[in-house]
Amino acid sequence: MSVHPHPSGHRLVPTSPVDPPRPLRIAVIGYGYWGPNLARNVIERPELELAALCERDEARAAAFTQRVPGVPVFGDFDEVLDDPEIDAVLVATPPRTHYGLARAALNAGKHVLVEKPLAKTAAEASDLIALADSRGLVLMPGHTFLYSPPVNKVRDLIQQGMLGDVYFVTSSRMNLGKYQSDGVICDLAPHDLSILLYLLEQPVAQVSASARSVFQEGITEVAFLTLTFANGVTACVQISWLAPRKVREMVIVGSQRMVQYDDTAADESVRVFDRGMEFKEPANFGEHQLSYRSGDIVIPRVDAAEPLGLELQDFAHAIRTGTTPRSHAHLGLEVVAVIEAAEESLRRHGQPVLLKRAAERAAA
Amino acid sequence: MSVHPHPSGHRLVPTSPVDPPRPLRIAVIGYGYWGPNLARNVIERPELELAALCERDEARAAAFTQRVPGVPVFGDFDEVLDDPEIDAVLVATPPRTHYGLARAALNAGKHVLVEKPLAKTAAEASDLIALADSRGLVLMPGHTFLYSPPVNKVRDLIQQGMLGDVYFVTSSRMNLGKYQSDGVICDLAPHDLSILLYLLEQPVAQVSASARSVFQEGITEVAFLTLTFANGVTACVQISWLAPRKVREMVIVGSQRMVQYDDTAADESVRVFDRGMEFKEPANFGEHQLSYRSGDIVIPRVDAAEPLGLELQDFAHAIRTGTTPRSHAHLGLEVVAVIEAAEESLRRHGQPVLLKRAAERAAA
Amino acid sequence: MSVHPHPSGHRLVPTSPVDPPRPLRIAVIGYGYWGPNLARNVIERPELELAALCERDEARAAAFTQRVPGVPVFGDFDEVLDDPEIDAVLVATPPRTHYGLARAALNAGKHVLVEKPLAKTAAEASDLIALADSRGLVLMPGHTFLYSPPVNKVRDLIQQGMLGDVYFVTSSRMNLGKYQSDGVICDLAPHDLSILLYLLEQPVAQVSASARSVFQEGITEVAFLTLTFANGVTACVQISWLAPRKVREMVIVGSQRMVQYDDTAADESVRVFDRGMEFKEPANFGEHQLSYRSGDIVIPRVDAAEPLGLELQDFAHAIRTGTTPRSHAHLGLEVVAVIEAAEESLRRHGQPVLLKRAAERAAA
Amino acid sequence: MSVHPHPSGHRLVPTSPVDPPRPLRIAVIGYGYWGPNLARNVIERPELELAALCERDEARAAAFTQRVPGVPVFGDFDEVLDDPEIDAVLVATPPRTHYGLARAALNAGKHVLVEKPLAKTAAEASDLIALADSRGLVLMPGHTFLYSPPVNKVRDLIQQGMLGDVYFVTSSRMNLGKYQSDGVICDLAPHDLSILLYLLEQPVAQVSASARSVFQEGITEVAFLTLTFANGVTACVQISWLAPRKVREMVIVGSQRMVQYDDTAADESVRVFDRGMEFKEPANFGEHQLSYRSGDIVIPRVDAAEPLGLELQDFAHAIRTGTTPRSHAHLGLEVVAVIEAAEESLRRHGQPVLLKRAAERAAA
């Protein structure tokens, strides 16, 4: 496949501040679970234009056409690659295909947003990063939680020093999942890990994992990860496909305050607990039962914006301006590296595994 | 100290079914945090009589006397041991004193209820068990949660098969704790472990632990334990003294249902989640956000009885009838043994530690 | 305006059960707050086709065109009326325009779905009903809550006898509202009233109202309505624009169970409280505080479907089959009549006002 | 019965600031539902001494003696009146007996705390007030909610101006009640009314009531009261014995903030909602569902102290110092007067009833 030299972010910068730039032309790759959300958000954003869908499945293609009558559907990815009018692709296909599709798109000069995980191995992820860098293209993993308003509210609280020193984090992510051959760590941990890396801004130094396979040997359905970050913060991550109640809860405990982030709690997703005054022992049974905290609680107002729309806005902005998107490829690589280490710990019956520093990994 | 031969449970059995037995005469040892609760509950129960308090601290003794004017206060434990009118002692003193006081009381022929942990080491706990057995006396650790109505509701659900096969358990127990020199595992884990042993009725096969000391090297304030039970069930226990919000939550996930037990949730402490029908992918963003479960939730009515009163009732019943109390000494020994193993795992930087079978331990 | 004879529901019935009928061609009238939701749902439903938008405001028209590129926008309602390809209109304009637009559309042979309230007076509403009947057209007020899954879950519980005899209902509907010249009763009460009529299937016999105007004399911002239904059930409705927290709560108390329906509670909107056994007085302070119910709670799984989609499906079904839609015009008329009576009570300083029986009203 | 001249609050003032005063000697009258709570709290407070119980029922008297062995039980109220060692009585007998017992006790020179309602009629209540004033004795109705920490937190917020101008209040108080011949208004409304009078510090200008009798003609089990206070604030009070879930919720809406006080919500009983910024219409269905408020929520830490203990402390303080207790007799009289007016409104089929100004009532 020859390399198309033309559509880079730089060429799209408007020649005059008066003219608004033409919208970026986007192809969505895959119209399964996530593709419809991508397509809808592309349509809603003025800086983007939905130029094409790529989907081989006829029923899915038909569903798309009812909703978005005028947009062409390609059955073959090469048609997308060969179309010089398409600036960028959004890859929403199964994980095992991410590396190959992203690589081909970068080689064809397209900017790429690829659903998480960025690739199956750290080596693959590094390879994509190098390729994007050499071509001057944006490569962005779709860690959508980095655009979630409650996650950003928590990050703001940490960065403003409201929590003081962060001591530890716990995270639970459970639901009744669809059976996936890669196991529950690959499926769910990228969410927790991307959020933790984003909140703490620290690399993971060590990870240990234990897990259980209930239905089929070797395919884990519940796992517990214990992480130590470079600055000593510890974290415990519980993930499972076996729970009939969706759980999406993270607790961050600091020296000044504690934050509880429950993504299922609708308009009360972030709760901030003050330490309050010195703890007073309750004087009787009734008081004992009633009192579970020492200070005030604040439930800040959190914007209800859809994270995926903000993610696409950031993608467009990165293409236009050359800036690094919030969900950047190096963060995506870290996520993949921690998952590899967790799986090594599993193979070694739960022994802790040290992670190479990101710098060493880059040098390797 | 000479051994008083007389007051055994058997002598207290009423000589005729018509006469109600006289109440058991109880001495409470220690009037710090927990002692007042013990004293109050002894007074409330018709089968018990508060015969004495043993407390050296004068302010505490005076507080007792205001509330309970007629009952003598001893400053010396030997006075309790030497009093032939006292049938049993309730030991509510610091953990390091448990073994010595319990041993002396058993040697003096008193039945003993000792606050958790039963002793500091499995060896000490085994020694107390052997002594109680040889003297025909009741030895009972105060694992009060075993008498908690929500814990028993959860246990009933498991035993009735409502959960199906139990897959895994997570437990979080956090608060702003008082600094204690033994570390957070010794202080808080006995609660989680006693509940897990009571719910699952399975010995622990292996445990690994990681922890963090924030304020003083060697004294842990947050710890994560990963347990595997003999039947393959896994559990993750998170405990901490650093959190300004009290957390007391356990999630038990089974093949049929999941139970969430939140001890801070007042009248809604137990929530049972049905698996419901096949999970349907939400069709749009709004549905995606709103739907976090696949079946009905039931919040059963749970009795509001005070656990400590039920614990004392069970103690009295065990003394009168010779039956094994629910919170029995062998369970207390298991708890101590798991804590010893967790601390060994900590010393070995998180490596999993295998536990001897209870039988082997008994033989050792 | 001449009457277009052609598009009646009957002509749209497919000539053969094999051929699926062609989609109904729909014009959305108004693209303000609610119109975009209507347009989106029309596009999503296979039995409907979005044929046109009618909107004079250019910015709104442009916003529509970006989302739905191929669909024409008319600036003049007569263009809609004159277009023989349009089968039905969805009127989402301010309340004072409802009567005139609906009347013109019915006269032009279009089926009409009009946002609540159906009209400003019972006389106008009756007039529209008579016109629709005489033309064989569907006239449907948009009481969207009648398609809300939690409302229907509550109705099912009542109809299955789970609640026993309904004794009384309380309803609170509050938010920070936009100032509207008609007052809070006109704006919010139609929701509560339509739900009450749908749940209880009883006409209102009497209503009294009290209200307060904080900012401008004569424009009420908070009101309390007390209703008595024909079968003796009483209801208390609290509505306000002054509350910074959205409240959407209804409590229905029956002889067997009580239902709490909180529309802001996401996935736990319906809670069913059993009466349980005989109430036992709590024995101490702790129990007193903890115990607030006498039986189990069930939180049934409620479908997350979007009510508006179901409403449009029902509209299409009514047009195709000639059946009465769930949100039917006579219910819309009752709502308007109760609001008229409430405003009369307000003018009479809170005195109860009797409502004519629906039959008498029809005869008048 | 001769009048005992001696025990007035003034005589109990310590003769020297060095000597602590001897405790006040208290007799509890009645050991039914509330008496045990009174007795327990008297024992716990150092400034009080439990001198006697008056209870004719033998089983209740025996239950008392087990808990409090050394305290005499009188079967005859005259024994209490004749005992010169008793300073004050706490009357916890049925409402119809309050007036007679309180009158006799005042005549015997005892200070009196009488459970709510203070009396059955405003005339009786006024009579007791006049008698207590003439004798220089404390007369205090037991409006325990005035000592509830969350109620006082709400009052503080109002008094600090956090709510701005109060616009309106709603209150719901429901449970599964015991059948009482006086009807639900007499039984439950005193709680809501005492709290409203305490929070708003405004007399009630007008009240209207509607109610329903399900089981027996004339004995109401559910009632809705609409109140207007002298400053224009409106309130709606819903009370019922028919609901299987205890409801204890009050919402106070002001120009700056809104407070939700839910007495069943354990450690989160007070929630303060900021108005926040300008309300933004949600842009799509998902946002629409998720967003129910416009500003932050604060859940202040509220002390877990038992209200009854604070009430007794205030009673003792009023006796010792001659100050007016928080739950003062004129507030108790207002409560009785509003209930009388509500019952008159009921007899007049819901017509609003104006209340005399407190001053006129006093003059009458």
Give which of C144, C146, C152, C142 is closest to C269, Cα–Cα.
C152
- Per CB-CB distance under 8 Å, the chain A contacts of D287 are 304-306
| Minimum-distance CB partner of B167 among A214, A274, A290 | A214
Reported as a pLDDT band with limits 50, 70 and 90, residue C29 is: very high
Number of H helices, E strands in chain D: 11, 15
Average pLDDT, chain A: 88
Report the C-alpha gap between B128 and B126 in whole angstroms: 5
Residue of chain C minimizing CA distance to A244: C301
Contact A262, A269 (CB under 8 A): yes
Both structure tokens of A189: 């941990």
Nearest to B222 among A168, A176, A222 (CB): A168
Asked if C335 and C125 count as a contact pair (C-beta separation under 8 A), the reply is no
Taking one residue from A and the other from D, the number of pairs with CB-CB distance under 8 angstroms is 60
In our burial notation (b when 16+ CB lie closer than 10 A, e otherwise), range C165-184 reads: ebbbbbbbbbbbbeeeebbb
Q: Phi first, then psi: give them for residue D168, nearest 5 degrees.
A: -160, 165
Q: In this complex, is the C-beta atom of C220 within 8 Å of any C-beta atom belonging to chain D?
A: no
Greater confidence (C43 vs A2) lies with: C43
User: How far is the C-alpha of B346 from the C-alpha of A168, rounded, in Å?
Assistant: 17
CB D78 within 8 A of CB D2: no
Report pLDDT for A2. Answer: 34
Q: Quick check: B298 contacting C, CB < 8 Å?
A: yes
Mean pLDDT value of segment B48-72: 92
Q: What angle do CA A264, A266, A271 make, to 5 degrees?
A: 85
Per residue in A247-272, pLDDT tens?
Answer: 999 999 999 999 999 998 878 999 99
Tell me which of A161-165, B311-315, C277-281, D317-321 is least confident: C277-281
Chain B segment 320-359 residues within 8 A of A by beta carbon are 349-352
Min Cα–Cα distance to chain D from C245, Å: 5
- Chain B nearest CA to C250, separation (Å): 20
Neighbours of C97 (CB within 10 A): 15
What does DSSP assign to residue D12?
Answer: G
Nearest to B296 among C282, C292, C300 (CB): C300
Looking at the DSSP bridge assignments, the partners of residue D177 are none
Q: Which of B66, B266, B288 is facing D46, going by the closest CB pair?
A: B66
Is the confidence at residue C335, as pLDDT, over 60? yes
Reply yes or no on whether the pLDDT at D181 is more than 80. Answer: no
pLDDT band, residue D2 (cuts 50/70/90): very low
Contact A285 C290 (CB under 8 A): no
Contact with chain B for residue C5, Cβ under 8 A: no
- Closest-CA distance, D288 to chain B, in angstroms, reads 8
**CA nearest to C138, candidates C116, C122, C114, C117:** C114
Residue C262's pLDDT band (cuts 50, 70, 90): very high
CA distance B283 to B288: 7
Q: Do B244 and A221 touch (CB under 8 A)?
A: no
- Residue B130 has a pLDDT of 98
SS3 C21: coil
Which residue in B70, B289, B290 is closest to D70 by CB distance? B70
Q: Which is it for strands A48-54 and A73-74: parallel, antiparallel or unpaired?
A: parallel
- Binary contact (A292, B245; C-beta < 8 A): yes
pLDDT of residue A20: 64
**What's the pLDDT tens digit per position in A120-150?**
999 999 999 999 999 999 999 999 999 999 9
Question: Choosing among D49, D64, D68, which should be mutated to test the B contact, i.e. which has the most B CBs within 10 A?
Answer: D68
Strands (E), D255-334: 257-262, 270-274, 297-299
- CB-nearest partner of B267 from C266, C290, C298: C290
Residue whose C-alpha is closest to residue D273's, from D252, D284, D259? D259
Residue among D297, D298, D304 minimizing CB distance to A290: D304
Alpha-helical (H) ranges within chain A are 35-44, 58-67, 77-82, 98-107, 122-135, 149-159, 184-200, 285-290, 307-321, 329-347, 358-363
The whole-angstrom distance between C228's CA and the closest CA on chain D is 10
Residue B9 pLDDT class (50, 70, 90 cuts): very low
The contacts of residue C261 (CB under 8 Å, 6+ apart) are C150, C151, C154, C249, C250, C251, C252, C269, C270, C271
pLDDT of residue B12: 43
pLDDT of B78:
97
ipTM entry: 0.88
Check CB contact under 8 Å for C167 and D285.
no
Better-scored residue on pLDDT, C19 or C24: C24
Tell me how far apart the alpha carbons of residues B185 and B278 are, in angstroms, rounded to a whole number: 40
Nearest to D279 by CA among C266, A300, C243: C243
Decide if pLDDT at B278 tops 70.
no
Mean pLDDT of D268-289: 62
DSSP A172: E
Tell me the mean pLDDT in the region B242-262: 94
Mean pLDDT of D46-65: 94
Mean pLDDT, chain D, as a whole number? 88
| Integer Cα distance of B184 and D29 in angstroms | 49
With contact defined as beta carbons under 8 Å apart, do D46 and D23 qualify? yes
For A12-26, B47-61, C128-142, C209-223, which range has the lowest pLDDT when averaged over its residues? A12-26
Do D236 and D226 touch, CB atoms closer than 8 A?
yes
User: Cα(B290)–Cα(B151) distance, rounded to whole angstroms?
Assistant: 30
Residue C293 at interface with chain D, using a CB cutoff of 8 Å: yes
Rounded Cα gap, residues A219 and A242, in angstroms: 13
- A200-204, C293-297, D329-333: least confidently modelled range: C293-297
> How many residue pairs from chains B and D have C-beta atoms closer than 8 A?
34
**Parallel, antiparallel, or unpaired: how do β-strands B222-229 and B297-299 relate?**
unpaired
Interface of B with D in 255-284 (CB under 8 A): 264-267, 284
Check pLDDT > 60 for residue D328. yes
pTM of the predicted model as reported, rounded to 2 decimal places: 0.89
Give pLDDT, residue C179: 65
pLDDT at B266: 77
Mean pLDDT for all residues in chain B: 88
Mutate to test the interface with C, among D204, D236, D296 (most CBs of C within 10 A): D236
Amino acid at B104: A
Reduced to 3 states (helix: H, G, I; strand: E, B; else coil), residue C337 is: helix
* pLDDT number for residue D12: 43
Q: Is the pLDDT of residue D3 over 50?
A: no
Q: What is the distance in angstroms between the Cα of C292 and the nearest Cα belonging to chain B?
A: 7
Instruction: Tell me which chain C residues have a C-beta less than 8 angstroms from the C-beta of B274.
Output: 301
Q: Measured on CA atoms in the order A325, A330, A334, A335, is the torsion positive or negative?
A: positive
Chain C 48-87, residues with CB within 8 Å of chain D CB atoms: none
Highest mean pLDDT among A81-95, A172-186, D165-179: A81-95
Does B222 score more than 80 pLDDT? yes
* Interface mutation vs chain A, best among B43, B219, B224, most A CBs within 10 Å: B224
* Mean pLDDT lowest among A136-150, D171-185, D261-275, D309-323: D171-185
Residue C178, helix vs strand vs coil: coil
Taking only the tens place, the pLDDT of each residue in D106-142 is 999 999 999 999 999 999 999 999 999 999 999 999 9
C56 vs C66: CA distance, rounded Å? 16
Strand C139-142 relative to strand C111-115: parallel, antiparallel, unpaired? parallel
CB contact under 8 A, A304 and D291: yes
B131 φ/ψ angles, rounded to the nearest 5 degrees: -65, -45
Question: Is a pLDDT exceeding 70 seen at residue A287?
Answer: no
Q: Do B288 and D290 touch (CB under 8 A)?
A: no
- Residue C20 has a pLDDT of 64
Among B263, B267, B271, B313, which would you mutate to test the C interface (most chain C Cβ atoms within 10 Å of its Cβ)?
B267
